[in-house]
Amino acid sequence: MLVQVENLIKRFGDFTAVDGVSFGIKRGEIMGMLGPNGAGKTTTLQMILGLITPTAGEIRIFGKSMATHREEILDRMNFTSPYVAFPYRMTVQENLTVFARMYGVREPQRRIDEMLERFDIARLRDKPIARLSSGENTRVGLAKAMLNDPDLLLLDEPTAYLDPDIAYQVKEALLEARSDRGMTILYTSHNMSEVERLCDRIVFLNHGRVIAIGSPIEITQAILNEEREAPALEEVFLRVAREARE
């Protein structure tokens, strides 16, 4: 496994945000992390990124512990979320130039140009971030996330605020990165239909716990078999899955 999460727990005072989460991601796999708001998706992602420290459990990436090899691991990763803001007075070009230098990107301008074209935002190059729409800002974040051609890409709600045609382009770019580069992707969402179309497997969270892990077909079959096979825990999964479809 490229990523191995074992019995991950995160408590904030008396509140347990993540409660014993375990899953693995294979090299070259697109893993979807699905669940409603408050399910623990973003907290889990932040622990994988090393932004917050787990209360208990272990995270291993590229065969190494995040606790002891954080900097080395992060060199080969990247991340974006539409909820993370860029310095708003700087232009798109200026922001991407700073990040390219931080990541040590070779031929940074060439790579920036490629990403601006890939996400159809070249026309925004000299526009300050403050003047971008939410969807445009989301695409700048995606361009930033792929600047260093990461081995592991973490995406938190990456198609939020995007029109359907742009969201489709983003998904095509992710599939292309996986097929051409073998890039491994962890993709969080609350939209089950989107995750079904894109991901090889899904880990489903609710109230900080793993409710189910499987391929989209396996997850769909579980929903179809609800009346015949659903024990108490599965009923929670199936109810939340239906809500995510709506």
CA distances from 46 to 42, 64, 159, 220, 227 (A): 6, 17, 19, 28, 36
pLDDT at position 230 is 46
Average confidence score pLDDT of the chain = 88
- Enumerate the domain spans of the chain: 1-76+151-160+181-246, 80-149
Cβ 71 vs Cβ 146: under 8 Å? no
| pLDDT single digits (tens) 3-37 | 999 999 999 999 999 999 999 999 999 999 988 88
- Report the pLDDT averaged over residues 53-80: 95
Phi first, then psi: what are they for 84, rounded to 5°? -100, 125
pTM, two decimals, is: 0.87
Which residue is it, tokens 């991601």?
25
pLDDT score, position 233: 45
Structure tokens at 181: 């580069």
pLDDT digits (tens, 9 = 90+) for 67-108: 999 999 999 999 999 888 899 999 999 999 999 999 999 999
User: Taking the domain 1-76+151-160+181-246, which CATH number applies?
Assistant: 3.40.50.300
pLDDT band of 224, cuts 50, 70, 90: low
pLDDT above 80 (res 190): no
Angle made by CA atoms 8, 185, 118, in degrees to the nearest 5: 150
Helix (H, G, I), strand (E, B) or coil at 187: strand
pLDDT for residue 217 is more than 60: yes
Average the pLDDT over each of 108-112, 121-125, 192-196 and give the range with the smallest value.
192-196
Q: Are strands 30-34 and 56-61 parallel, antiparallel or unpaired?
A: unpaired
What contacts 141, CB < 8 A, 6 or more positions away?
A: 80, 81, 82, 84, 86, 158
* pLDDT for 219 beyond 50: yes
pLDDT band at 232 (very low <50, low <70, confident <90, very high): very low
5-7-11-14 Cα dihedral, nearest 10 degrees: 160
Q: What sign does the CA torsion over 27, 33, 39, 42 have?
A: positive
Tokens of 106: 């070779």
Structure letter (DSSP) for residue 37: T
Residue 231: pLDDT band with limits 50, 70, 90 = very low
